[in-house]
């Protein structure tokens, strides 16, 4: 799933923010290239093709040259309407079945880790008696 939001900046350059859910990534396993299943949210902001950052930050509204900015990626200011589009795309990705499965697996992993830690604590206590 991939969403792109574009606009012209006040200087006339092309701003592009890409929001994508990546479900497969190539990894290097001792020189072997292998596909690994992942579920990552990747956000990339560019201005005139130049990388600006990968983290969307919501901020207090700032008005500049008649435009209200409510977010930014690095030094790239995001106008209010475009920030709404970006947040909508992020929400849509996080509502997807793949993302929900990832969250469910993470919750189960946390429960399992807590169970293991409790068991280890119990065993240490019994072993020290």
Domain boundaries, the chain: 2-95
Helix (H, G, I), strand (E, B) or coil at 99: helix
Cβ proximity of 86 and 78 under 8 Å: yes
Spatial separation of the C-alpha atoms in residues 51 and 36, rounded to whole Å: 26
Where does the pLDDT of residue 91 fall: very low under 50, low under 70, confident under 90, or very high at 90 and above?
very high
Q: What is the pLDDT of residue 125?
A: 85
Q: What is the pLDDT of residue 17?
A: 97
Q: What is the pLDDT of residue 67?
A: 87
Q: What is the pTM of this model?
A: 0.77
> Burial of 18 by CB count in 10 Å (0-12 exposed, 13-18 middle, 19+ buried)?
middle
User: pLDDT tens digits for 39-90?
Assistant: 999 999 999 999 999 999 999 999 888 889 999 999 999 999 999 999 999 9
Closest C-alpha to 58, from 43, 73, 40: 73
């Amino acid at each position: 799933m991939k969403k792109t939001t574009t606009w012209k900046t006040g200087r006339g350059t092309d701003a592009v923010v890409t929001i994508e859910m990546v479900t497969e990534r190539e990894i290097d396993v001792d020189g072997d290239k292998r596909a690994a299943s992942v579920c990552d949210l990747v956000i990339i902001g560019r201005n005139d093709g130049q990388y600006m950052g990968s983290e969307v930050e919501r901020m207090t509204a700032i008005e500049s040259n008649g435009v209200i900015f409510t977010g930014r990626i690095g030094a790239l200011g995001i106008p209010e309407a475009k920030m709404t589009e970006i947040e909508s795309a992020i929400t849509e990705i996080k509502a997807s079945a793949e993302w929900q499965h990832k969250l469910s697996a993470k919750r189960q992993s946390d429960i399992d880790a807590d169970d293991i830690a409790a068991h280890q604590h119990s065993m240490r206590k019994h072993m020290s008696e």
